[in-house]
Amino acid sequence: MGEAGGRRIVAAPLPNVVAVEALPDGRKVVLFDDRGTLKEIVFGIAAKSAPTMPRVSLPDRRANELLESLLDAEQLESWRRDGTFWVESRRGPVQLGRLYSLLHHPVDRPDDEVVLCVVPEGYDTLPRADIWSNLVLVLSTCPDAFFDVANVMGVRRRAR
């Protein structure tokens, strides 16, 4: 609870938070389970432009170089714009870029958007971009290995 601009603010915890992900523009995405339906809320104010170059560690820079070398032009533009990109597969496209919350549009269920969770083994030791390099290679070349282990976090109606 606090005061902001004369307004009284009450902070209540979101129930059933599944994941919190930082966006490149400074906002945060909170993914939560609302009685069986996965929903997202975006918090914060997007930075219009970065006032200074963010400090990037050497491992993060190297990982990002590898990832960007693996993306086609459209994926690269999307990655640089909002930190996500879509990967085509014979089972339908998958959006990479948000940990624990990979969106999938199954070819055989055109009205559904499935939220998947797939990670590399020991992913918590890897720079974030390496996680996406790992997943884009597996998904692009052997999608069965990706989908066979995927955990389904939720299913929702696809936005049109």
Partner 1 sequence: MGVMRIVDETGDSTLTWSREDEQSVVAAAEMFTRLAAKKHLPFARAAGAPADEAELVRHFDPEAEEIVWVRPVVGG
Of 33, 36, 28, the closest CA to residue 14 belongs to: 33
Least Å from the CB of residue 42 to partner 1: 21
Cβ nearer to partner 1, comparing 14 with 66: 66
Cβ nearer to partner 1, comparing 30 with 70: 70
The pair of structure tokens assigned to 45 is: 């104010």
Contact window for partner 1 (CB under 8 A) among 8-16, 23-31, 37-45, 135-143: 135-143
27 backbone dihedrals φ, ψ, rounded to 5°? -80, 170
Residue 92 within binding range of partner 1, rule CB under 8 A:
no
What does the CA dihedral 14, 16, 19, 22 come to, rounded to 10 degrees?
A: 0
Contact window for partner 1 (CB under 8 A) among 4-12, 29-37, 45-53, 60-68: 60-68
Cβ nearer to partner 1, comparing 107 with 137: 137
Radius of gyration for the chain, computed over Cα atoms and rounded to the nearest angstrom = 17
Element (H, E) at 94: strand 94-96
Contact window for partner 1 (CB under 8 A) among 25-33, 39-47, 54-62, 105-113: 54-62
